[in-house]
Amino acid sequence: MRERDLPDSDVFDPAEAGLDLDAELEAELGDASDAGDPADDPVGDRPSGRHRPVPVLAQGDGWLVVAKPPLVIVHRNARMRHVSAVLQRVRDQVGGRVYLAHRLDRGTSGCLLLATRRELAGPLSLAIAGGTARKTYLAFVRGYFAEEGPVEVDSPINYYELGTKEASSTVERLGASHEPRCSLLRVRPHTGRHHQVRRHVRDLDHPIIGDSDHGDSRINREWRGRGSRRLGLHCIRLELTLPDGSALDVRCPLFEDQQALFQSLPFWEEARQREPDLDLPALSWDWVGPVE
């Protein structure tokens, strides 16, 4: 079925459903303005009539978890009206509308939870925002991260018009090197603030490589020369209790660009030992771009 044969997929509106969610969560679900660094490879957002389907990691009655490719927005917005976003790709795969339960930034890859029935979008959003849900990220950052044990970060985040919000994350080193000066971190946010992982590692003076909002532009340019052309952030695992009471535990492999980069770094073997999911077979870069 061609894209124009179906209406655009919906972005779940919590207020319309009568749900009183945190203001940041509402903003996060409805805001796809993060178009990324203009220096990023634009292949994922190329306005093409045909794209490869999105890898499905798990699915059940009324929901599915997909592997969001990097450099692809989750849904269209005023600046990018005609690109093939994740929602449009998945909609065409399943032959019907799909709804975001949360979102990932354009440059971020990894686990993305969607509802395939509108009445489940609200409960899934609440489940992923709840205290029992856990998202695990891999953050590729600037500098040598010296701490051996877990580091708790509780610096609040200022959203200007929304005020300051409490936020907490646990950061652990998977590997680090002095040459090149970089580290791979495992980050588990305990609150669901917008850009929380990106801001908290920046607060530790280890901004994510490729982060044009909170990072180091000079370092970003250097790493583009090394072949790292996107945000170094990947949601590798998603755990939560589904609305029916069952447990969901999904892992997303790295895409092959990041796996190849990490394998070339001195700390790869150390990181593999600390995070066994790094050994999952990598997802092809072909998932990112259009069918030629």
- CA-based max dimension of the chain: 54
User: Residue 69: is it exposed, middle or buried by C-beta count within 10 angstroms (0-12/13-18/19+)?
Assistant: buried
**Short-list 267, 230, 271, 233, CA closest to 252:** 233
CA–chain centroid gap for 240, Å, is 16
Distance CA 224, CA 256 (A): 16
The C-alpha atoms of residue 251 and residue 208 are separated, in whole angstroms, by 21
Q: Catalytic residue among 105, 211, 216, 257, which? A: 105
The three-state secondary structure class of 192 is coil
* Residue 106 structure tokens: 């354009």
Gap between the Cα atoms of 249 and 247, Å rounded: 7
DSSP assignment of 103-139: ---TT-EEEEEEESSHHHHHHHHHHHHSTT-EEEEEE
Residues 6+ apart with CB under 8 A from 264: none
Is 105 an annotated catalytic residue?
Answer: yes
User: What is the C-alpha to C-alpha distance for residues 173 and 217, in angstroms, rounded to an integer?
Assistant: 23
Strands 109-115 and 233-241 come out as parallel
Strand-pair category, 181-189 with 164-165: unpaired
CA distances from 17 to 13, 21, 101, 125 (A): 7, 11, 13, 12
Return the active site residues. Answer: 105
